[in-house]
Chain A
């Protein structure tokens, strides 16, 4: 191969690198500037509004971290919205009688357990994750409804609501702490550990991973369990911030999370992704929500605009994959 040839290889490599890695940042910037200009008199740019966006997106960001792992391994988790409700309710019910510690264990435990069920069915019964988590999404939506007969359970434990929702440390709201810590750990595990590398290899080429000595079933079990656990944490954050739990929590989050992850540069079919990208994607979705509301769009118009943006994101993601 000549050096000129090498040059063009590097050139095409660089151009795709740009598109993939920076589309989310450019999109984020464009939407931010758009709203900053359009809503300059409606309070979009106030510190309070902007920090509100970050606080509101914390649970979605946490779920998005889990979904980056799941999608990078070539799987999907549709049950995260239902896990949020089950976990939040499990925590709310147990906190009232047994206190904060038991509540946390119950909430996270419920998420991890459902994740394990999803993972075991995918990894060892070898069912497609799309169908497994579609089924558990419905199943646990039912469970969350029957847990309290559709009633809302209030959370009055101040230590809990402070830790997971309204409190702050060193002047920084706890939800921002949760977001930063989860992103930092998620990014480290995803990028810098053997586990992260094996997740990517599994989603990229499961056979290659397998003949290289990677236990593909264990990876599949692990990513779905992580996703379940993080959805459980998202449930605790909702319960803490709203000081109540209800079966509707997380109900509409699935599409937002998937959109955040895909816009953030994680491929739908596995093998490639970004935790930081998912964070920016999640903030972008939150900003979009916030801006569209401030612009006075009706709920139905907001849904249409969000849907169009997700469609664009998927198109970019798949177009790149087919290259």
Chain B
């Protein structure tokens, strides 16, 4: 799997808050149809990177290139406009609204009278939910009536619906049980066929090895290295994360 051009390219990304350097000279490429895992200890700068890539924080220096075009973003709306969607670990869903309203939250389609096009929202939700095999009772179900795994399935479906370039998954299974985690992992795995780049942040190395094509290790804001998943093992990655590389 060697597609021609990376869908996302980060070059010499640097971010400091005041005198504090959060990210130093970070470079990474993500190709379409590829899952890249971003790992690192707490405070390594993973969340800062998510915010930079999703557009919430602009980098202090360095360039972000999407499909060959350099972009500047200063908020999440701009990130979304560039086809980047984030699935947050704490599920940014409105609990008392229906599945279909959540799918289209902030981007509701309107009919020719300028009113909400519920029929279209429901039809598109049902189609996508079926494609991704997210098992929910119906598009009309209220979010809070769903299990944690079903909710995360909805959040991923929403990101999938809107992401034309990149899906960022920030600890997507941190709050889930074993069976639910397995379901969500299957859904993530199926996203590869959609030819978008997928960047997943996870604390679980088992999960990282199960899902990813490449693993990027971050320590104290610096990129320690990128490994192809099938050519490395847990010991090497753990050594890189903790900084005990030279045994």
Contact A209 B105 (CB under 8 A): yes
- The yes or no answer to B110 lying at the interface (CB within 8 A) is yes
State which residues 90-105 of B face A: CB under 8 Å.
91-97, 101, 105
Q: Does B131 contact A (CB under 8 A)?
A: no
Alpha-carbon distance A268/B41, docked complex (angstroms):
41
Q: A208-B105, A209-B94, A214-B105 are in contact. Are A197 and B116 (CB under 8 A)?
A: yes
**Complex Cα spacing A209 to B92, Å:** 8
A38 to B185, CA, bound (A): 64
Asked if A6 lies at the interface with its beta carbon under 8 angstroms from chain B, I say: yes
Q: Does A211 sit at the interface, judged by CB under 8 A? A: yes
| A9-B108 in contact given A205-B94, A271-B95, A271-B96 (Cβ < 8 Å) | no
A213 CB within 8 Å of chain B: yes
On chain A, the residues within 8 Å of B116 by CB distance are 192-194, 197
> B101 to chain A: which residues have CB within 8 Å?
197, 200-201
CB atoms of A207 and B105 under 8 A apart: no
**Cβ contact within 8 Å between A194 and B92:** no
Give every chain A residue within 8 A of B88 (Cβ-Cβ): 211
Interface size of A in residues (CB-CB distance below 8 Å):
26
Give the Cβ gap from B136 to chain A, nearest Cβ, in Å: 9
By a CB distance below 8 angstroms, the chain A residues around B114 are: 193
Q: Tell me if B76 counts as interface (CB < 8 A to partner A).
A: yes
User: Is residue A12 contacting chain B, with contact meaning CB distance below 8 A?
Assistant: yes
A272 touches B96 (CB 8 A): yes
- CB-based nearest B residue for A201: B94
* Across-interface contacts of B76 in A (CB, < 8 A): 211, 213
Residue of A nearest to B92 (CB): A208
Q: How many residues of B contact A (CB 8 A)?
A: 27
Main secondary structure of the interface of A (DSSP, over half): helix
Tell me the bound Cα distance from A281 to B114 in angstroms: 30
A198 within 8 A of B: yes
Pairwise interchain contact B92-A205, C-beta atoms closer than 8 A: yes
The answer, yes or no, to whether A204 is at the interface (CB within 8 Å) is yes
Q: How far is the CB of B231 from chain A (nearest CB, A)?
A: 36
**Contact indicator A205/B93 (Cβ below 8 Å):** yes
Would you call B141 an interface residue if the criterion is a C-beta within 8 Å of the partner chain's C-beta atoms?
yes
Known: A13-B142, A13-B145, A213-B76. A204 touches B97 (CB 8 A): yes
Q: A198-B106, A213-B80 are in contact. Are A205 and B95 (CB under 8 A)?
A: yes
What's the minimum C-beta distance from A214 to chain B, rounded to whole angstroms?
Answer: 5
In the complex, whether A1 has a CB less than 8 A from a CB of chain B is: yes
B43 at the interface (CB under 8 A from A): no
- Cross-chain contact A194 with B110 (CB below 8 angstroms): yes
Given A194-B108, A213-B76, A204:B94 Cβ within 8 A: yes
Residue of chain A at shortest CB distance from B105: A212
CB contact list, A3-47 vs B, under 8 A: 6, 9-10, 12-13
Contacts A/B (CB < 8 Å), 10 sampled: A1-B135, A6-B137, A13-B142, A197-B105, A197-B116, A200-B94, A204-B95, A208-B92, A213-B77, A271-B95
Residues of A with Cβ closer than 8 Å to B? 1, 6, 9-10, 12-13, 188, 192-194, 197-198, 200-201, 204-205, 207-209, 211-214, 267, 271-272
